[in-house]
């Protein structure tokens, strides 16, 4: 993915995050949200948080890691960590709501 793609990903996921974050906070404060809606919203929140944080963390890697080979490995590590967090979190949410 090119730099423009990362830029769009961060902005788009940032805007999309407002809805599931709002639902999550409202549900925690009131408890007045259907369980299925909460599950779907929390799952979307998890995926969007990871997709939003990846470009930000990648920017930090580019700012602070001068070696290009190390940067590539750090990016791979970030992608792997993000995928693992989504998988682990989705499994945890499924267990939590079940």
Partner 1 sequence: MGLRFEVRRPAYPLSWPRLHRAGVWARRLQRVSGLVLVAFAVWHVFQVVGAAQDRARLAAMVSTLYHPAFIGLVLAALGFHTLNGLRTVLLDLGLLGSQRQVGAILAAALGTVLLVAAALGWRLR
Using CB under 8 A as the criterion, which residues of the chain lie in contact with partner 1 when the complex forms?
11, 14-15, 18, 21, 28-29, 46, 49, 53, 56-57, 60, 85, 88-89, 91-93, 95-96
Choice between 71 and 86, CB closer to partner 1: 86
Closest separation in Å from C-beta 69 to partner 1: 24
What is the chain's alpha carbon radius of gyration, rounded to the nearest angstrom?
16
Q: Which is nearer to partner 1, 69 or 95 (CB)?
A: 95
**Least gap, CB of 59 to partner 1 (angstroms):** 9
CA gap 9, 4 in Å, rounded: 8
Report d(CA 75, CA 62) in Å as an integer. Answer: 9
Beta-carbon contacts of 19 under 8 Å, excluding residues fewer than 6 positions away, are 41
**Token digits for 75?**
């990016």
Q: Least distance in Å: CB of 5 to partner 1?
A: 15
């Amino acid at each position: 993915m090119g730099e423009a793609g990362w830029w769009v990903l961060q902005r788009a996921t940032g805007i999309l995050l407002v809805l599931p974050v709002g639902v999550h906070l409202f549900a925690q404060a009131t408890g007045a949200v259907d369980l299925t809606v909460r599950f779907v919203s929390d799952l979307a929140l998890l995926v969007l948080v990871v997709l939003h944080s990846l470009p930000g963390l990648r920017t930090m890697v580019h700012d602070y890691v001068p070696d290009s080979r190390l940067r590539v490995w750090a990016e791979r590590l970030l992608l792997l960590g993000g995928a693992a967090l989504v998988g682990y979190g989705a499994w945890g949410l499924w267990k939590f709501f079940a």
